[in-house]
Amino acid sequence: MQNQMNITINPLGWTKISNQTITIDGQDAHLQVFDVYSIWPPMWGYKVETITFSKNNNTYELLFEAPKEEFDDENFQVIIDSFEVE
């Protein structure tokens, strides 16, 4: 899965900021962080985080998106830390 995450082609206006491995519900998960900007007016900027992991033969993807100035890492971290697959 990590190989697939590394070769993701990003559309125009997307810049990958980081790519790392974290733990979600006891499983290795792949976190990618992007800055996303519109390429036409009105101009806007977003921060997007995608988290992908597998558990019990299923693949899960969490997507967090908010305007850059409103993206609150601490609030999203609470969600990540408490996420469990039943």
Domain count for the chain, please give it: 1
Give dist(CA 65, CA 49) in Å, integer. 7
Q: What is the pLDDT of residues 22-73, one digit of tens each?
A: 999 889 999 999 999 877 777 788 999 999 999 999 999 999 999 988 888 8
Q: How confident is the model at residue 76 (pLDDT cuts 50, 70, 90)?
A: confident
Asked if the structure places residue 83 within a domain, the reply is no
Encode 49-81: b = buried (16+ Cβ within 10 Å), e = exposed: bbbbbeeeeeebebebeeeeeebeeeebeeebe
CATH number at residue 10: 3.40.1000.10
Asked if the structure places residue 28 within a domain, the reply is yes
Asked if the structure places residue 68 within a domain, the reply is yes
Whether 21 and 33 have beta carbons less than 8 Å apart is answered as no
Residue numbers of the domain that contains 45 = 2-78
- By CB atoms closer than 10 A (0-12, 13-18, 19+), residue 84 is exposed
Average pLDDT (73-79) is 87
